[in-house]
Amino acid sequence: MAGEDRSRFTDLELIARSRAGDRAALGELLHRYSRWIRWACLTATDRRVPQVDMEDAMAATFRSTVRSIHGLRATTEAEFRAWLRQIARNETRAVIKPQATELFDPMDEAQRPDRSRVDPSPDLAERFADQDALRRCLESLRRKSVDHYRTLILYANEDPSSQLAAELLSTDADQVNASTARSWLKRAREHMAGCLGLDSDDGGEIVTLRARQG
């Protein structure tokens, strides 16, 4: 089937062809899902993923997908995405190793953001220009809830639909639905607003805590 235009195939058709050994179809499928794989890699851990690690994780995901495609049993796109997401997570976690030792005490005062350093000025542009404060608040959010942290970072970088966010934030142990994803975003934003010293009268566009409707 040399020269066949595989871009006209649906995802399910490409999946079926890939499983049957059509490598060009698999290449098209990987291209089509490359953005998805990137999302999955970047939401796989509670840590920031540097560019070089992200590339390693994606490349490893491609290789693992090629290696495993013959055993894929997915018959729906949702099953395929779940399968692909798991591969991406496994590979990313293999690349992004956990810290050697982490004895984190969530009640440790030294780990808390220094609220006294938060500028009480209502000028939002100035507030967000204080990258140290923002960084401390992000870290405190990560320590408080990895789920909320990942949700905030996901929305900040990709602005996905709630349904897409839910898929990316799901794990084998916990299936996240769109409502939960929106709730996590709301809580993350509330934490950040509180940590940054923003209250309900401080910047209407902040406290509306926009959550996209799926």
Rg (CA), the chain: 20
Query: Nearer to another protein by C-beta: 16 or 54?
Result: 54
Could you give the 3-state DSSP secondary structure of residue 107?
Answer: coil
For 96, how many CA atoms within 13 A lie in the half-sphere containing its CB?
A: 22
Query: Nearer to another protein by C-beta: 3 or 71?
Result: 71
Query: Nearer to another protein by C-beta: 13 or 158?
Result: 158
Cα dist. 10→16, 23, 148 in Å?
A: 10, 16, 34
Cα dist. 83→87, 204, 212 in Å?
A: 6, 41, 26
Query: Nearer to another protein by C-beta: 104 or 116?
Result: 104
Please, what is the minimum distance in Å from the beta carbon of residue 5 to another protein?
Answer: 18
Query: Nearer to another protein by C-beta: 71 or 120?
Result: 71
CA-wise closest residue to 135 among 196, 53, 187: 196
Would you say 148 and 187 are in contact if contact means Cβ atoms under 8 Å apart? yes
Please, what is the minimum distance in Å from the beta carbon of residue 158 to another protein?
Answer: 7
Please, what is the minimum distance in Å from the beta carbon of residue 38 to another protein?
Answer: 5
How far from chain centre, in Å, is Cα 141? 15
Please, what is the minimum distance in Å from the beta carbon of residue 10 to another protein?
Answer: 19
Cα dist. 34→8, 56, 72, 105 in Å?
A: 17, 13, 18, 38
Please, what is the minimum distance in Å from the beta carbon of residue 12 to another protein?
Answer: 15
Please, what is the minimum distance in Å from the beta carbon of residue 160 to another protein?
Answer: 12
CA-wise closest residue to 119 among 131, 108, 111: 131
CA-wise closest residue to 46 among 184, 164, 151, 192: 151
Query: Nearer to another protein by C-beta: 14 or 49?
Result: 49
